[in-house]
Amino acid sequence: MTKFGEHWEASFREMVVEAGAKAIADAGIEGRELQAVYGGSMASGRLISQEHIGALIADQMGLAPIPSTRCEAACASGGVAFREGYLSIASGAYDVVAVGGVEKMTDVSAEDVAIALGGAGDQEWELFNGATFPAIYALMARRHMKEYGTTEEQMAACAVKNHANAMHNPYAQYHKAITIEDVMKSGYISEPLKLLDCSPITDGAAAVILCATEKAKKLYPEKAVEVLASSQASDTLALASRQSMTAMNATAVAAQQAFAQAKLAPKDIQLAEVHDCFTIAEIMAIEDLGFFKKGAGGKAAADGETALNAKISVNTSGGLKACGHPVGATGVKQVVEACWQLRGEAKGRQVDDAEHALTQNVGGSGATCVMHIFKRADRK
């Protein structure tokens, strides 16, 4: 990974090269061994006026003429890129591929970023009528509060926990502890969501190397991480068209498929990187993934059940909230954190006896969900 944050000194392509070179070096391979590249980037055309990102990655990394493909699924672009890389290996088409995610978001105004992100929802029915993403998630939060008694303080607990985890992540955008009181006083962006309930605008890139399991075990006999499951599901683009405003059906469906593939249950997962673009999104995620019953997520967060080495360690990286959210890179960053945890390399935030990890990457307000489950390859 690059460090996530506001990178005035680094360009889009420089971040691509930094993350990609680190991943190649970590895997102990040469660039010429790569057979394909899959890169996630959501809005480079609007944010930096650059399209054709697949070719740019191959060009800047010196990887031409191998195929290089850009994947776009809003904030789930990185997760979709990882899934495409996984499927290309599983199909037998390739033996070794690189997967990356990148976004440069701070070179334009906050208003331009809001418009770019708003296009991840239903532009005609939502954004055109003034419903930005904070407003959409505020509707979910308000409905969750009405149906289940969830409180603003319970949502704030997610932000406090994620900032605490980010304090020990050198790649995180924010290294500042916060309190419930800090969140409550931070001012409404879209009631009931306040400034410190929201993920930031971020620059950053992340990359991983994927290869066939047996090859991975040879390259990294003690630290290879195996993909046990990969799933993806969709829902309506507009929130108003969904059956529920308090659950993400795409997450529930993808979770069911992933757990079936991995032959595991939620109780078998030690850590999860979930898509907390807003604090209510984390609460809904831990419910939809089956870690807690529907409506119990807020209380679980407030009671510390999602803290490091609690019932389930959620967002050990700091999540989108504190590690940062360069939208195209987030899904790959989640995978990087899962790998570091399973390899025992997450110093200061290490989950004890981590055997299985899960990532949940969401596009838009829930229209796309990509999930992966991992384990240490040297574990039976």
Q: Which sequence positions are flagged as catalytic? A: 75, 325
Find all residues with CB under 8 Å of 221, minimum gap 6, and list them. Answer: 378
Q: What share of the chain is helix, strand, coil (3-state, %, to 5)?
A: 40, 20, 40
CA distance 298 to 286: 9
Secondary element (H or E) of residue 160: helix 152-166
CA angle (131 as vertex; 130, 136 as ends), nearest 5: 170
Quick one: which of 55, 54, 42 has its CA closest to 361?
42
Using CA of residue 265, residue 266, residue 268, residue 274, what is the dihedral sign? Answer: positive
For residue 349, the number of C-alpha atoms closer than 13 Å in the C-beta half-sphere is: 27
How many alpha carbons fall within 13 Å on the CB side of residue 172?
26
**CA–CA dist 126, 295 (Å, integer):** 26
Q: 95 phi and psi, to 5 degrees? A: -105, -35
Angle between helix 152-166 and helix 279-288 axes, rounded to 10 deg:
90
The DSSP code sequence of 224-263 is -EEEEEEEEEE--SSGGGSS-SS--HHHHHHHHHHHHHHT
d(CA 166, CA 190): 25
- CA neighbours within 13 Å on the CB side: how many for 84? 24
